[in-house]
Chains A and B, each alone.
Chain A
Amino acid sequence: MAGSAPRTQPFPRARPVREGALLLAVALAAAGASWAVRSPRLPLRADLAAYELDLGFAVVPAAEAVALFLDNACIPVDVRDDGQAARIPGSVQLRQATFDDDLRDVFDFLSPADPLLVYGDGNLLVAAAVAGRLQERGFTDVRLLGGSIEAWQKAGGQVDGEAAHD
């Protein structure tokens, strides 16, 4: 009886290092291939200076922005999606994904010379993208809030919505 029945092949012992190295090699090959076929190619050595935030728009520190707001010298533009309750009072919502529809809703209330202060969740790239769209539409005075709504609140700025009483 013993030894006569064919044994089911057991799972091979795991070889995590060898497996990991194999997967790494596959990823390296795929990354190398995708780098080679992409045009323009990313240079292998990055120029870090190019990554310093050159957004094409002035970034207003939160404290300065609060002062502008209190002087009625800016109209806040919120680029975040719904569901993030705290907003600067009187904000106009212009989201990147639905920019054209959002702008249509508020277009009558804005004029091209209005000073706009674009803010979001702190990601200045998203804010800058919306600012760029505004500029394309002829708005001439567009600036970005440095930091998120939390930075605004820390600088003493008022907010509407849930987090207003924090």
Chain B
Amino acid sequence: MTEPAAARADDIRRVIPDWMDLLLRFLVGGTFVYASFDKILDPAGFAQSIAHYRLAPDWLLHPAAMLLPWLEFVAGAAMILGRARRGAAWLVILMLAMFMAAIGSAMARGLDISCGCFGTEDAHTVGLSLLLRDLALLAGAVVLAAARGTRRSF
């Protein structure tokens, strides 16, 4: 009777408790889905937020402003639903690494700008607290990329 469980355990390298799996998926995925809404509705405003970082060239600014929010939404939703979850976790890791590099570079250049993380009128100024928040999300995403609960999805 324990064979199915054993078979699963053989196939999954690292198992975390279901509650932790669910909690991390909702925290990390939910944050990304929530963060995407305003930006999907106002790509021009988000382009302005990206432009403040003075990193994106002209050919990249608008495509990035249109694609990034949808990527956040799709990866976050997939993570919550438990579909394509490792792919979603890796996409989230890549996005967070990019966000942290952008924030770090803005801090290094002394730019006093709002981050644009949760929308175009987001009042968070780039700074250490923002980096720490992204780092916490990154830790959650890394766990989700490397391990899973025993339930496949909802």
A-B CB contacts (within 8 Å), total count: 133
A115 neighbours in B (Cβ, 8 Å): none
The interface stretch among B3-11, B20-28, B97-105, B129-137 is B3-11
Binary per-residue interface labels of chain A (31-49) against chain B in the complex, 1 for a CB within 8 Å, 0 otherwise: 1001100100011111110
Instruction: Check A22/B73 contact, CB under 8 A, given A42-B44, A45-B58, A46-B61.
Output: no
Chain A interfacial residues counted at CB < 8 A: 46
Binary per-residue interface labels of chain A (83-124) against chain B in the complex, 1 for a CB within 8 Å, 0 otherwise: 000000000000010000000000000000000000011110
Q: Is A165 an interface residue (CB 8 A)?
A: no
Contact between B123 and A16 (Cβ–Cβ < 8 Å)?
no
Instruction: Check A5/B12 contact, CB under 8 A, given A16-B145, A27-B74, A44-B62.
Output: no
A155: min CB distance to chain B, Å: 13
Which of the residues A11, A16, A27, A121 comes within 8 Å of B125, measured between beta carbons? A121
Q: State A96–B44 Cα separation when bound (angstroms).
A: 19
Q: Is B121 an interface residue (CB 8 A)?
A: yes
Q: State A38–B15 Cα separation when bound (angstroms).
A: 44
Which of the residues A16, A27, A51, A122 comes within 8 Å of B112, measured between beta carbons? A122
Contact between B125 and A148 (Cβ–Cβ < 8 Å)?
yes
Contact between B114 and A42 (Cβ–Cβ < 8 Å)?
no
A44: min CB distance to chain B, Å: 6
Residue of A nearest to B111 (CB): A122
The 5 closest A-B pairs by CB, nearest first: A19-B87, A8-B4, A51-B51, A123-B114, A20-B87
Q: A31-B70, A46-B61 are in contact. List 7 more A-B contacts (CB 8 A).
A: A8-B7, A19-B88, A23-B91, A34-B43, A34-B66, A123-B114, A148-B112
